Chains A and B, each alone.
Chain A
Amino acid sequence: MSTVIAAPKPGKPWTATPKERAIVVGIYLAAAVVSFVIVAVTPMKGKLAYFTLFFFASIIIDFSVNYVQRGMASAKDAIARGFVTVGITFAVLPIFSILFEVVKRGYQGLGFGLLTNDMSATSVNDPIGNGGLLHAITGTLVMVVIALLVAMPIGILTAVYLTEIRGKFSAPIKFLVQAMSGVPSIVAGLFILSAYVYPITKELSGFAGSMALMILMIPTIARTSEEVLLLIPSDLREAGVALGGTQWRTVALVVVPAAKSGLVTALILGIARVAGETAPLVLLTGGGESVNLNPFNGPMGSLPMYIWKCFGQGTEESIARAWSGILVLLVIVLALFTMARYLSERKVTK
């Protein structure tokens, strides 16, 4: 006998059933009830008490339910599940708090004037409508671009050495790049102070600031570029060499263009890394109040310095300005980051 079997429908019988989901909800509800009861009955109070009690109650109840239904192994798994959930919550919560506070406190300072005025004519107690951070934005821009001009070739060449030449210095260089990424920003500032400002120019300038930023940028660019170059399949290099290309031509005309968007990502991440650095700029740039486009002459403002000085002044208005400055800086960092993400996704799908 032959039975006609209807065309089968694909399914996932292992996903949670409504009954299983209901049990999970039940566990959390029970934990909430327990924490409310305990708070009402004991002298514990406050949000901290609720959350801690809720966490422990839910783990204990989850453990018990699993133990009864499935045994000790499953019960231990329930405890682990509780802890990792708390872990991710603690890791992610500060981000939301930070974003929320920055927007809330910096929002009032936003206005057209913010982006077009500088602080040369404003005093500490002026309402936030006066003055702006144009000088800060131009200063940051100038310093970052100069830093990039030096850091980019050094960073990319380092990456090329590590991936293409792979000579006998590879291990020490990798270690050095790692060590350089650990240099505290203030130490970089002190170094430029002692090597450039004191002996040579004897005055603070934007260029000095750039040099310190450059030191902080190089490791980021080098590391990201190295990762990107490693992703280029070796067939590409072999094809170049098989066509009779010399090594430098192969690298310059085949490998690097293939990694183009990834290298741009590396540069963007390098910029994001230094855009918010404060300590070296405090030591080296003087934090000017007016727009100064000359990096070699005179103090230059920057977003981090603007924020720092406003915060230091302590008045209600200046603190509001500081928050606005933070908001602008955050928007810039976010934009850079999103751009870098977008570029690296595109590269993968191409």
Chain B
Amino acid sequence: MTLLESKPADIPAPREITTKPRVSDKIFRGVVTAGGLSSLLILGLILIYLTYQGYDVLKSQGFGFITGSEWSLVEDESGNIDLNQTKFGIAAMLIGTILCATIAVVIAVPISVLAALYLTFYAPAAIRKFMVSIIDLMAAFPSVLFGIWGFFVLMPSAEYWAKLLHKYLGFLPFFDMQVPVFTRSPFVAGVVLAIMIIPIVTSISREIFGQTPLDRIQAAFALGATRWAMIKAVVIPYGRSGVVGGAMLGLGRAMGETVAVYTVLNIVYQINWQVLLGAGGNVASMILLKFGEAGEGEVKALMAAGLALFILTLLVNFVADFIVKSSGAKGR
């Protein structure tokens, strides 16, 4: 019997696994990848074309395009635009966009979060499905419907609420106003936008709350927690960042809305912080308003305005994505 000499076993390096890809698969990958990258292409083209069209205007207006609030078209004798005298400034509209969207988010997010909590943790099984369906259905309503409904049905009530706000909270600078014109104000637009984005934010929040890990929920209940105590200790820390992301998505949607705001907001080229006053603006609805009669030169200015709006909404989406990704890892 010979003793086999024991040597330390040589651990082999892992082999590289390769396969010769078939031609059909290569084509397949190519086609699919091209399809996938088409969104990059489209977004890129949007940026390029809008910049190209709006370039002249941006160059002549400079920063004044974003900081000035005057929109006056001056033409010379032959009907061409006198770029030195013409002013295109969208500051009032940009502020209006942000203001209306912020009002919308301030109203919609608390309602949506509470509604999502109700649907996930309080609703009896029988009505939960029904309510989820109708909220998802409302997310599919066309925006023109909200605009027209807002104008005819909501505005009278919104006017009443605005008057109340002015009466009791008028000492706050937002709610003060020089002239008592309550219709077609940023406030009304904000309310209409809020109603539009509630379904989206509720849906996103509901999904997030539903994914709360069950073992933590059980741990809280086993310790003798009430439903609210459990939500506060487990659900909210878990879902916080996702809900913020959802709220920002709603913000982006509200910023880009056109027809829903057009009917209920009176466009005035002056920065207006008094939300109850019937004057304001929103870049998208301004574009729609001016487009009908705009000559070639003015259209370029509208393109530039569209570019500004596009970049703004891209930024908001980018930040939303970042918030969800980064703070989601911790505390989860």
Q: Which residues of A contact B (CB under 8 A)?
A: 46, 48, 73-74, 76-77, 79-81, 83-88, 90-92, 94-95, 97-98, 101-102, 105, 153-154, 156-158, 160-162, 164-165, 167, 169, 172-173, 175-180, 182-188, 190-191, 193-195, 198, 215, 218-219, 222, 246-249, 251, 269, 272-273, 275-279, 282-283, 304, 307-308, 311, 322-323, 326, 329-330, 333-334, 336-337, 341
CB pair A74–B36 under 8 Å, yes or no, is no
5 contacts between A and B (CB under 8 A): A97-B153, A101-B153, A160-B32, A165-B32, A307-B144
B283-302 interface code vs A (CB 8 A; 1 in, 0 out): 01001100100000001001
Contact pick for A86, options B34, B40, B114, B314, CB 8 Å: B114
A83 to B121, CA, bound (A): 13
A283 to B302, CA, bound (A): 12
CB pair A326–B134 under 8 Å, yes or no, is no
B121 surroundings in chain A (CB, below 8 A): 84
Who on chain A is nearest to B153 by CB?
Answer: A101
B101-142 interface code vs A (CB 8 A; 1 in, 0 out): 000000000111111011101110000000101111110111
Known: A182-B253, A182-B313, A184-B313. A176 touches B227 (CB 8 A): no
CB pair B35–A179 under 8 Å, yes or no, is no
CB pair B24–A246 under 8 Å, yes or no, is yes
Is B149 an interface residue when CB atoms closer than 8 A count as contact?
Answer: yes
CB pair A158–B36 under 8 Å, yes or no, is yes
Number of A-B contacts (CB under 8 A): 263
CB pair B195–A94 under 8 Å, yes or no, is yes
Shortest beta-carbon distance from A64 to chain B in Å: 16
CB pair B141–A330 under 8 Å, yes or no, is yes
B228 surroundings in chain A (CB, below 8 A): 76-77, 79-81
Who on chain A is nearest to B47 by CB?
Answer: A191
CB pair B142–A329 under 8 Å, yes or no, is yes
- Besides A73-B229, A81-B228, 6 new A-B residue pairs in contact (Cβ under 8 A), listed by A number: A84-B115, A88-B131, A97-B153, A165-B36, A194-B50, A277-B143
Interface size on B, residues (CB 8 A): 92
Q: Which residues of B contact A (CB under 8 A)?
A: 22, 24-25, 27-29, 31-40, 42-43, 45-46, 49-50, 52-53, 110-115, 117-119, 121-123, 131, 133-138, 140-146, 148-149, 152-153, 160-161, 164, 195, 198-199, 202, 225-229, 231, 249, 252-253, 255-259, 263, 284, 287-288, 291, 299, 302-303, 306, 309-310, 313-314, 316-318, 321
CB pair A190–B131 under 8 Å, yes or no, is no
CB pair B303–A190 under 8 Å, yes or no, is yes
CB pair B306–A158 under 8 Å, yes or no, is no
Known: A169-B37, A183-B310, A184-B313. A191 touches B45 (CB 8 A): yes
A81 surroundings in chain B (CB, below 8 A): 122, 227-228
CB pair B317–A279 under 8 Å, yes or no, is no
Shortest beta-carbon distance from B231 to chain A in Å: 7
CB pair A308–B144 under 8 Å, yes or no, is yes
Shortest beta-carbon distance from A307 to chain B in Å: 6
Contact pick for B42, options A46, A48, A198, A215, CB 8 Å: A215
A18 to B121, CA, bound (A): 23
B131 surroundings in chain A (CB, below 8 A): 88, 92
Chain B, interface SS category? helix
CB pair B144–A334 under 8 Å, yes or no, is no
CB pair A90–B115 under 8 Å, yes or no, is yes
Contact pick for A95, options B110, B134, B226, B321, CB 8 Å: B134
A83 surroundings in chain B (CB, below 8 A): 114
CB pair B226–A282 under 8 Å, yes or no, is no
A91 surroundings in chain B (CB, below 8 A): 111-112, 115, 135, 198-199, 202
A158 to B39, CA, bound (A): 9
CB pair B144–A84 under 8 Å, yes or no, is no
CB pair A98–B145 under 8 Å, yes or no, is yes
B38 surroundings in chain A (CB, below 8 A): 154, 157-158, 218
Contact pick for B284, options A79, A184, A198, CB 8 Å: A184
CB pair A98–B141 under 8 Å, yes or no, is yes
B142 surroundings in chain A (CB, below 8 A): 275-278, 304, 329-330, 333
Shortest beta-carbon distance from A20 to chain B in Å: 15
CB pair A311–B263 under 8 Å, yes or no, is yes
B136 surroundings in chain A (CB, below 8 A): 337
B225 surroundings in chain A (CB, below 8 A): 73
A87 surroundings in chain B (CB, below 8 A): 110-115, 117-118
A88 to B112, CA, bound (A): 8
CB pair B140–A175 under 8 Å, yes or no, is no
CB pair B36–A157 under 8 Å, yes or no, is yes
Who on chain A is nearest to B28 by CB?
Answer: A248
